[in-house]
Structures are given as C-alpha cells and as structure tokens.
A and B are shown apart, each in its own frame.
Chain A
Amino acid sequence: MEALKQKAKELLQNGDVKAVLGYAVGTAGVRRPHFARNPKQVDALVLDEKCTQNLATYLTKHEVKHLGKVAVVALPATQRALLQLVAERQLRDDAICLLAVDGGEVKTLSSGAEVEQHLALKTDAMPAADKAMIEKLMAMTREQRWAYWQQELSRCVKCYACRNSCPMCYCEHCTMDCNRPQWVPVASHALGNLEYHMVRAMHLAGRCVECGECGRACPVGIPVHLLTFFAEESTAKQFGQRAGHTAKLDYALSTFKPDDKETFIR
C-alpha cells in the first residue's frame, strides 16, 4: 500500500499525470472509486480484496478525459477492459498509465502491449458462483429460462446503472437514447426491459471482459452480468477469441474473413 501511495505521489508531483484513480473507504466501509488530484488526496487510497469496481469505465468519460492523463490503480478486470478499449481504438498508448499491484510491488504499465504482457501471466476465470448459475440456467427448459428472466427483469427500472458502470458501454449516443428513430421503447415495461437487456447483451457479445460490474451496479440485484457473460462465452466458442486479452483484436461480429468457416457469408 505504501509503495502505491509513494508511486501515486511521485506521478502527481512530477506532473506525469493529473490524477490518480484508485479506491477509498466509503459509507460503512465499502470501497468507492477515488480520484486523487493532489498528493494530499493520495492518502485516502486503499487497495484490498474489498475493492472490486472496474475503474476503466472512467477513462472514456468526458469529464475524466478533460482532466488530462490519469493513472489508474488496475485490478486484472480493469486491465482487461483497458486492453479491449485499446483494441476498439478508444484509448491511445500515450493515455495509458496503469498501476498494477502484485504482492506489494507496483508495476507501471504504459502501453497496450505492456498490459497484454502483464495480463498473460494471469488467469482470471469467471467466478465459480456465476459459472454455476449459468450452468443451472442452461440446464433449464426454454420455458423455465424464459420465466426466470421475465421474473428477474420485471424488477428493472431502467436506471441504466448496468450500462453506465460498464467499461465497454462508452457510446456517446446509446441506442437506448436514440429517439429518431426510436429503436427500443423507453418505458420500463416488460417489452422495454426485455429489449433493453437483449440489446445490451448482444452489443457486448465478443466485447465483455467479464468483470461483472453491471451485476454489482444493479440496485435491485438483477444478475444482468450473466447475460453478457453468456454472450461472451458463446462468441468465444464460435470464433475462438475473447475480449480483453489482446490490444489488437478484430471484433468477431463485424469482421469479415474470406476463410470464414460458415459458407453462407462467403
């Protein structure tokens, strides 16, 4: 922890970055995102197993970009999200400063390639509970699955916490907000909720870094991350590539390859 604070202060004092984004202690001990914009604010930084937020979400926000270069305390999921953002050309190498902490040592990663190299050493499998839940859902009949999701999604109020907390949901004009034409009903009724969550899952197929932030963000506890996890696993199976593993990735669902195994597309 001391090494991280030391590094953060150094970066700020040398003017290498305008802010260090990490975690601090919040309400009743929860960990919250924390922007340290001066050395004094660095003292509030904490890093432990209670820190879960995917901080890569902030890197594409106007208000954060406006600050200038930001160093980010990066958990593996944050690193994967950042790689995917680089692959999708949302971040340039010169905007990257990740602080990866491993056993007290702070490593600074300053390019997509460095993050990729660092991540290659890690295996960050889907949490066992989520994997078990997906298996349980897949073992259901279609009717049972349909009933399960109808029940879950009926609680959705369309606050868009899942969308806004997702590092890969960076679109300036989300399809959900598009009203000319209006693709998806705005209302949070059964159809509006279902269409929203289906569109979100489809838009994350092949792009989801499986951090689970959307599920954690949901105020009413809908396991929406299972939808994107499932979509991601399906694309991984079909196309043999995963999001968040390399800085150079052609998006599976929009890249044409002459040697595609499906004949209908040729």
Chain B
Amino acid sequence: MADTFKLTHENLDSLFAALRKDGRRILAPVDGDGRTELNEVEKPSQVAKGYIQTIMSAKDVVFPKVERLLSYTTAPGTVELHDAEPKALPTVLFGVRPCEAKAFGALDAVFNWDYRDKFFNARLEKMAVIGVSCLKADDACFCTSLGGGPADTAGSDILLTPIESGYLAEVLTVKGKAIQALAPNLFTPGNGVDKAAIAAKLEQAFDQPALTAKLPGMFENELWEDQALRCIGCGACAYVCPTCVCFDIQEEADPKQGQRLRCWDSCGFSMFTLHASGHNPRETQSARWRQRIYHKFSTYPERYQMLGCVGCGKCTRACPVDMNLREHLVEAANV
C-alpha cells in the first residue's frame, strides 16, 4: 500500500529544486514547435500542459536509439579492445503517463531475461519515475483494455494525480521514498481524495485475455492481410513505442579503428528477417504486421507473463497511414 500525500504546486517547485541540487536532471514533456517531447527542465512551469502523450516514448532514456557497445583500434598484428561504459546520468522522468511508466517493465523483461544488459541496467538504476495520472484520453488510448489505467501506479516511483492546488502524491517505491527524503516537509498529509473520480474515463475496448487465448489459432486468418494492406512498412510505430525493444548490431569500422553500435530496429521493415540465403520467412507486410501483434499479445505473455503493449496509442498517433492498434485488436477479438 502506497503512502499518500499532498504536494502543492509551490512545493513541486521546491521539489524540482531539491532534485536538481541532488545532481539529477529532470526530463519532462515540453511543448515546442507544435509538438510535445521530453526535454530537460528546471522548473515545473516549463512542463507542457494539457498534453495526452509525447510523440516519442521515454524508452531512449534507458535504451537510446544508438548506443556504443565497444570500440577497437588495430595496428599490424594487434587489436586493442575498449569496453564502452554507459553514460548513465541520474535522471528523474517527470510527467510521463502511467502507461509509459508501466512500459519499463516490458523493456526490463527482455534486457534482463537470459542476460543482464549492463547498459540498460546502468541507466535504469539511475532513473526514477514521477508519473502523472491522465485527466483525459483520446481515440488512440486503450490502457484499460490491457489491465492498466489512467491513474495506474505500476512503474512509477511516485505517482501524482492532479487535484485542486496541486497533486495527490503516492510514494510507491524505495526510489520514490528516496526522492521524498530529499525534502520530506514538502509532502503534506494526504486528504483521502478519490483519484478514480478525477482520472480520465476510458472504457475497456476488448477482452485481452480472451484475445491472447485465441491468437495461436488465428495465425492463418485473412484478417491480418486485410489490416496490413495499407501499412507502408516503415518503423514509425516501433520507434515511438515504449515497449518495442528490437535492435540491430552494427559495426562501423575503417582499417585502423572501429566501433560496435546497438541501434533500434523494427519488425515492420522488409529486411528485418531476411536471411543471408535470400529467404525471408516474413516476406509480406501482412506477415510482418501479424508478427507485431503476436509478439506483443501472444509471445510476451507466454515468455514473460506480461503484455508487450501498454495501450498508450503512440503507434496509432505516429502512423502515417493511421493504423489504429486498438481498432485492429478489437477486430481480432471479434473474429
């Protein structure tokens, strides 16, 4: 059970100052050029108002789009290897939505599955999440269909829910308590607000456990081809997704030196599964689209006992051809 407090706007100002004094950078949604994206801020007044979601997810804080894994130099007869060390900065992620906060669990499941990834873990350890509950949802949102919710605490170290004159603050984890301890007097006793009454209302769109149960029997269904026909096979959905974790290892080298990089990749790309032989087991866009659905809603539950999707709807908002994931899942659930 979380400890619940009240945090006034004024005290949030002071909390930001305390966090910065503690040597942490604060990343928060910021409005600019008609977009809302995560950026470093100093004060709460710089944080965007009224946003539903940022376009890009916060995953690049722990899983950057390009990360150097090692580098090397060569001279006649020798190779000298240099391990790369992750540049993990103490970071507070402020104002991400509960869906995105939860998404770090799905990344963690992969990066700590059969191998503990030092880069991911170094960054995750130094990151704390102060989530902010949603007061509104849009047509792309479907967290409530996946067991989440607009005021869900999973993944947040502290969850703030906007109330009059400030926030209801739930201090949820050891990391959250450490933040509270920086300035304990800023957190005043909670007042028993019913946060469910304040948070956005979002109806459940489909029965996810039933969908997951029937997916294995739907592999050859013509639905996937129908849905994928307008997909243009770019990687926008995967790259804005807070849980998409696929990467490519690239070697950039010249005769004297080189480096090995980990770069984001997407199962939507036609080359993603192209074998050296020339054979491609996912030759058509519909096979690739089906893979995207199955990986998130069938493989993930089977392998990690959780979903590979949090229903944030970023993919839907970013898609150049409006592939609406919620709508497609509802269709699949109704087959």
Contacts from A to B (Cβ < 8 Å): 26-28, 30, 32-35, 53, 57-58, 61-64, 157-161, 163-165, 177, 185-189, 192, 213, 216-217, 219-221
Contact = CB atoms under 8 A, between A and B. Distances in A.
Given A188-B264, A219-B318, A63 B232 contact: no
Identify the 8 closest CB pairs spanning chains A and B, nearest first: A217-B320, A32-B322, A219-B318, A26-B322, A159-B235, A161-B234, A164-B234, A164-B232
Nearest to B231: A63
B235 A160 contact: yes
B248 A159 contact: no
Contacts of A63: 225, 228-229, 284-286
B229 A35 contact: yes
B263 interface: yes
A186 B248 contact: yes
B196 interface: no
Contacts of A219: 55-56, 236, 239-240, 318, 320
A220 B56 contact: yes
Which of the listed residues B235, B271, B284, B320 has the most CB atoms from chain A within 10 Å of its own CB? B320
A159 B66 contact: no
25 contacts: A27-B139, A27-B140, A63-B228, A63-B284, A63-B285, A157-B56, A157-B239, A158-B235, A159-B234, A159-B239, A163-B234, A164-B234, A164-B320, A165-B232, A165-B321, A185-B250, A187-B66, A187-B263, A189-B261, A217-B236, A219-B56, A219-B236, A220-B35, A220-B55, A220-B56
SS of A interface (majority): mixed
B192 interface: no
B65 interface: yes
B263 A177 contact: no
Interface residues of B, number: 43
A177 B317 CA distance: 26
Nearest to B327: A27
Interface in B214-260: 225, 228-230, 232-236, 238-240, 248, 250, 252
B121 to A, nearest CB: 22
A63 B234 CA distance: 15
B77 interface: no
B91 interface: no
B271 A177 contact: yes
Contacts of A64: 229
A213 B240 CA distance: 19
Contact of B321 (A32, A160, A188, A192): A32
B264 A157 contact: yes
B234 A165 contact: yes
A109 to B, nearest CB: 22
A30 B322 contact: yes
B138 interface: yes
B230 A161 contact: no
A160 B316 contact: no
B139 A28 contact: yes
A111 to B, nearest CB: 25
B50 interface: no
Interface in B281-318: 284-286, 316-318
B266 interface: yes
A165 B26 CA distance: 36
Interface in B37-66: 37, 55-56, 65-66
Given A160-B234, A186-B250, A26 B324 contact: yes
B138 A28 contact: yes
B34 interface: yes
B65 A57 contact: no
Contact of B34 (A34, A158, A192, A221): A221
A207 to B, nearest CB: 18
Contacts of B252: 185, 187
B33 interface: yes
A108 B68 CA distance: 55
A32 B322 CA distance: 6
A161 B268 CA distance: 11
Contacts of A216: 320
B269 interface: yes
B57 to A, nearest CB: 11
B66 A188 contact: yes
A83 B304 CA distance: 51
Given A28-B138, A63-B285, A161-B236, A33 B321 contact: yes
B85 to A, nearest CB: 18
Nearest to B237: A159
